[in-house]
């Protein structure tokens, strides 16, 4: 298998990450997380390489890769927007906010805009329940987010601002 790509993926680089974690107990998940940490995502072309080096089936690798929502199989956008969909946020308008986010960015949850600027993700708790609905932009929490605040977060994310 030849794993290559513009993001720095190569057989040798991926194999080095895999073998560095292969001796851990239950290494599959730590290997996948290490690949993502090193390359920004786990390229689907690495599935066979991981399976081969860990002596597990490609189905097992794929199953773990697609089960954990924090693992990505494509590059993340420059700005990551996480919309809380937990019960406390839902009670104060998160459903409408989520629909606005999907419509305004023209992506679904787990997708990245065509220009690579934004990745929209849903999460089920950001620990900011008293100030819902909550959105995290690149890990920075914002509470009481309505559609206009969300649009400002997007505008500021596009320009590198800190609103």
For 83-139, write each residue's pLDDT tens digit.
Answer: 999 999 999 999 999 999 999 999 999 999 999 999 999 999 999 999 999 999 999
Q: Are residues 114 and 52 both part of a single domain?
A: no
Q: Are residues 43 and 93 both part of a single domain?
A: no
Does the residue 44 lie in any domain? yes
Q: Report residue 104: phi and psi, to 5°.
A: -70, -35
Q: Quote the pTM value.
A: 0.77
Give me the domain span that covers residue 89: 79-159
Cα separation, 122 vs 98, whole angstroms: 8
Q: Are residues 112 and 89 both part of a single domain?
A: yes
Higher pLDDT, 2 or 47: 47
Q: What's the whole-number average pLDDT of the chain?
A: 92
Q: Are residues 107 and 130 both part of a single domain?
A: yes
Q: Please count the other Cβ atoms lying within 10 Å of the Cβ belonging to residue 103.
A: 10
Q: Are residues 62 and 90 both part of a single domain?
A: no
Q: Are residues 86 and 37 both part of a single domain?
A: no
Distance of CA 97 to the CA centre of its chain: 19
Does the residue 117 lie in any domain? yes
pLDDT for res 163: 53
Task: Please tell me the total count of domains within the chain.
Answer: 2
Q: Please count the other Cβ atoms lying within 10 Å of the Cβ belonging to residue 26.
A: 7
Cα separation, 79 vs 88, whole angstroms: 25
pLDDT for res 4: 44
pLDDT for res 8: 76
């Amino acid at each position: 298998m030849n794993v290559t790509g513009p993001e720095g993926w190569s057989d040798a680089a991926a194999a080095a990450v895999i073998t560095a974690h292969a001796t851990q107990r239950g290494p599959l998940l730590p290997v996948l997380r290490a690949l993502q940490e090193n390359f920004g995502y786990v390229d689907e072309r690495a599935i066979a390489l991981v399976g081969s080096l860990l002596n597990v089936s490609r189905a097992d690798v794929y199953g773990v890769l697609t089960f954990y929502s924090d693992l990505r199989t494509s590059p993340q956008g420059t700005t990551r927007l996480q919309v809380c969909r937990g019960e406390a946020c839902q009670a104060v308008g998160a459903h409408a906010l989520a629909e606005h986010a999907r419509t305004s960015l023209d992506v679904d949850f787990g997708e990245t805009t065509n220009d690579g600027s934004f990745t929209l993700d849903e999460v089920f708790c950001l620990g900011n329940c008293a100030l819902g609905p909550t959105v995290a932009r690149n890990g920075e929490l914002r509470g009481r987010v309505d559609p206009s605040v969300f649009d400002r977060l997007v505008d500021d994310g596009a320009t590198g601002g800190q609103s």
